[in-house]
Amino acid sequence: MATQRLRVLKTYKLFIGGKFPRGESGRVAPAQPGEGRRSPGNFCLASRKDFREAAAAARTAQPGWAKASAYLRGQILYRIAEIAEQRRGELSNELARGGTDEAEREVELAIDRLVYHAGWADKFAQLFSSVNPVATPHFNFTTPEPAGVVAIICPDKPSLLGLVSLLAPVILSGNSAVLLASESAPLPAISFAEILATSDLPPGVVNILTGKRAELVPHFATHMDINAIVDGSGDLTAAVEGRRGSACNMKRHASRTMPPGDWFSSKAEDPYWILDTIEFKTAWHPIGT
């Protein structure tokens, strides 16, 4: 009698501190397949505890990442692009299984956008710094510094390009990140995490969670060790929760609400997005006589 083989579906885990743990709650959900396709796998539903662990990992990693030279951060971003280029076919297939119509174009733009931001890593400080005229015998300098730990809420579509477009300007300046992937198409985010894990990016600089925005965004907003939120979800409820909770420790809140098509345009590679997650430090240096 012939037997029917059951498929062994991959369970895409979380990415915290450079490792791939299962969600603390043990909850998983099937990824939604494209029309006429079977589910490509399952993903973990992150809990509040998973988020706290991701925030702790990001806080631990951030000072070392900020101390790395701008040139090195740019080289690491470029290395991520190199690895993504080698896995371009795999990423395209994964997006296509999830029902994405322009999978190949989305992957190519995501790689190009990584290269684009790698070039900004050692240039944005020259653009945004200044030497200020003062009426005292001092040199007065204003320079950008990273805000710290940034929470990023990704759009549902495009799931990969939206993630890269939001993440790259955050980490190139020395911030670390806790990222909530697309709720409807989370699998490409974890495949991208596998690329990060094999690059030279220090563990904990980027942490990726999958799950429900309604459960996690309130914790993002009220956590006292999150310094800024970048919200690209376009979800009105998430925006309200994020802004309301941000008042507890005066964290920054940047909205990136755009139609899905705009993520494919130059609007999503604005270098002034870097400003949303940096602080400006002004130093006074006396002039010797």
Each residue's pLDDT expressed in tens, for the chain with a length of 289 residues: 677 877 777 888 999 999 999 988 888 888 876 555 666 788 899 999 999 999 999 999 999 999 999 999 999 999 999 999 999 998 988 888 766 678 899 999 999 999 999 999 999 988 888 888 888 888 888 889 999 999 999 999 999 999 999 999 999 999 999 999 998 889 999 999 999 999 999 999 999 999 999 999 999 999 999 999 999 988 888 888 888 888 888 888 999 888 989 999 999 999 999 999 999 888 888 887 5
Q: Token match 């993520």: residue?
A: 263
Q: How many structural domains does the chain have?
A: 1
In a domain, 48, yes or no: no
Residues 6 or more apart whose CB falls under 8 angstroms from that of 259 comprise none
Point out which residues pair with 113 in neighbouring strands.
none
Q: What pTM did the predictor assign? A: 0.91
In a domain, 94, yes or no: yes
Question: What's at 209, amino acid-wise?
Answer: L
Q: Token match 């692009």: residue?
A: 81
Range of the domain at 168: 56-286
Q: Which of 120, 112, 111, 107 is nearest to 75 (CA)?
A: 120
In a domain, 245, yes or no: yes
Q: Which of 257, 259, 252 is nearest to 274 (CA)?
A: 252
DSSP β-ladder status, 130-132 and 41-44 = unpaired
In a domain, 66, yes or no: yes
Residues 6 or more apart whose CB falls under 8 angstroms from that of 64 comprise 202
In a domain, 276, yes or no: yes
In a domain, 64, yes or no: yes
User: What does the alpha-carbon distance between residue 271 and residue 276 come to, in Å, rounded to a whole number?
Assistant: 10
Q: Which of 91, 67, 213 is nearest to 154 (CA)?
A: 213
| Per-residue pLDDT tens over the stretch 74-131 | 999 999 999 999 999 989 888 887 666 788 999 999 999 999 999 999 999 888 888 8
Per-residue confidence (pLDDT) for residue 203, from 0 to 100: 96
In a domain, 50, yes or no: no
In a domain, 7, yes or no: no
CATH number at residue 168: 3.40.605.10
SS3 (DSSP) at 140? strand
User: What does the alpha-carbon distance between residue 244 and residue 257 come to, in Å, rounded to a whole number?
Assistant: 17
Would you tell me how many other CB atoms lie within 10 Å of the CB of residue 98?
24
Contact criterion met (CB below 8 Å) for 145 and 277: no
